[in-house]
Amino acid sequence: AIFCHDDEVAKKIRILLNHGQTQRYKHEFIGINGRLDTLQAAILNVKLKYLEKELDKRQKLAQTYNANLKNCQIPQIDPNAFSAYAQYSVLVEDRASVLQKFEKA
């Protein structure tokens, strides 16, 4: 699935995901085989209903992490961008003590 507010960007992504082809055997770019199989498509079709709620949940978790991890190097998101926070990575000096604090929380 492609979520994009820019039709030109969405078009380019679709081309890249189909080996860079704009039509059969005509390659505009070097691309990949990024097409979904039927099972993956069916699963994503169901999950799509929950996307907005899931993104909301991730944003709230990221805000909580940002507020509580002030002594760590946290993700910096451009003010004009949006992060889905598929991962939330931090850089810490003492990983073991941070893990221990998370386990107690």
- As averages over each run of 10 residues, the pLDDT of the chain (105 residues) reads 83 83 83 79 91 96 91 89 91 87 86
pLDDT of residue 100: 92
Clarify whether residues 100 and 74 are in a common domain.
yes
pLDDT of residue 60: 97
Tell me which residue range forms the domain holding 30: 1-35
DSSP designation for 7: H
| Residue 17 within any structural domain of the chain | yes
Tally of CB atoms within 10 A around 34: 12
Clarify whether residues 56 and 26 are in a common domain.
no
| Residue 45 within any structural domain of the chain | no
Clarify whether residues 56 and 27 are in a common domain.
no
Domain of 81, CATH number, reads: 3.90.1150.10
Tally of CB atoms within 10 A around 45: 11
The Cα-based distances of 51 to 8, 9, 11, 55, 61 in angstroms read 23, 21, 22, 6, 15
| Residue 97 within any structural domain of the chain | yes
Residue pair 31/14 in contact (Cβ under 8 Å)? The answer is no
Residue pair 19/34 in contact (Cβ under 8 Å)? The answer is no
Q: How many domains does the chain have?
A: 2
| Residue 70 within any structural domain of the chain | yes
| Residue 78 within any structural domain of the chain | yes
Q: CA angle at residue 40 from 59 to 19, to 5 degrees?
A: 95
